[in-house]
């Protein structure tokens, strides 16, 4: 009997795949038997990622906010592997700034990475995903549901991702394509370290608010993404999977 959690023969695209959560997602996808196109802006990070991931990974340096990037990513993946089974819209950025000091351009910049770029890549990949009966995974956040001061752009963007999950699932399921999301809580990653800075008291407060009493690891997100991409999740559609140690539930 075929293991429904395996991904042999599957090909995934992971944006923001050079480090952090994206790299962990790519690693887990490959460990399940798949191949991955890793997309990112930093050539050094991409080279290190591919060296770590091995022969089952290829990289493409691209700015996902560029108007031409989506088609380039899809074309490069089809050229390398001949198919696309999963698109993981993981690329992200973060802006910590008071509401009144956040400029329209700064706000737009966060929205473009988390929302517009994800829409563009998903749209470009739809024909290939339809052929493979594939799936789309959007990275949401606990900030999709909760907010704190000084992250108005990030909270708004991640809330919009929930709408993308619903809209994609509602419209493209008739073509055999599933769409889901993952809402990470506080996960140890470069972005988290940047957000927390050297503030052990804040980190302790965050852990204290998480029912499981710890921060998550990138592999927790990689495992969730691999599950959602796999045949085991074949009837999971329009769902946002919280991977937050119960943080939102226990808030």
Tokens at 54, concatenated: 């091995």
First to last CA, the chain: 42
| Active-site annotation holds for 145 | no
Buried b (16+ CB within 10 A) or exposed e, 105-142: eebebbbbbbbbbbbbbbebbbebbeebebbbbbbbbb
- What is the distance between the alpha carbons of residues 245 and 207, in angstroms, rounded to a whole number? 10
SS3 58: strand
Which listed residue (29, 138, 145, 154) is catalytic?
154
Is there a contact between 88 and 125 (Cβ–Cβ < 8 Å)? Answer: no
Indicate which residues carry an active-site annotation: 154
């Amino acid at each position: 009997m075929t293991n429904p959690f395996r991904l042999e023969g599957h090909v995934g695209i992971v944006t923001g795949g050079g480090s952090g959560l994206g790299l962990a997602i790519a690693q887990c996808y490959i460990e399940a038997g798949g191949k991955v196109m890793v997309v990112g802006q930093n050539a050094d990070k991409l080279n290190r990622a591919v060296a770590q991931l091995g022969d089952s990974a290829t990289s493409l340096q691209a700015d996902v906010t560029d108007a031409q990037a989506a088609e380039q990513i899809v074309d490069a993946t089809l050229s390398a592997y001949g198919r696309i089974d999963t698109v993981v819209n993981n690329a992200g950025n973060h802006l910590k700034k008071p509401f009144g000091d956040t400029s329209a351009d700064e706000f737009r910049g966060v929205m473009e990475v988390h929302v517009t770029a994800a829409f563009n890549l998903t749209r470009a990949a739809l024909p290939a995903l339809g052929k493979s009966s594939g799936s789309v995974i959007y990275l949401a956040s606990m900030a999709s549901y909760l907010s704190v001061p000084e992250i108005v752009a990030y909270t708004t963007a991640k809330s919009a991702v929930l709408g993308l999950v619903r809209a994609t699932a509602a419209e493209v399921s008739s073509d055999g394509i599933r769409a889901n999301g993952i809402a990470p809580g506080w996960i140890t990653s470069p972005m988290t370290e940047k957000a927390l800075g050297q503030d052990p008291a804040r980190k302790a407060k965050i852990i204290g608010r998480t029912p499981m009493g710890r921060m998550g690891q990138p592999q927790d997100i990689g495992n969730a993404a691999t599950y959602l991409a796999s045949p085991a999740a074949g009837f999971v559609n329009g769902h946002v999977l919280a991977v937050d140690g119960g943080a939102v539930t226990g808030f």
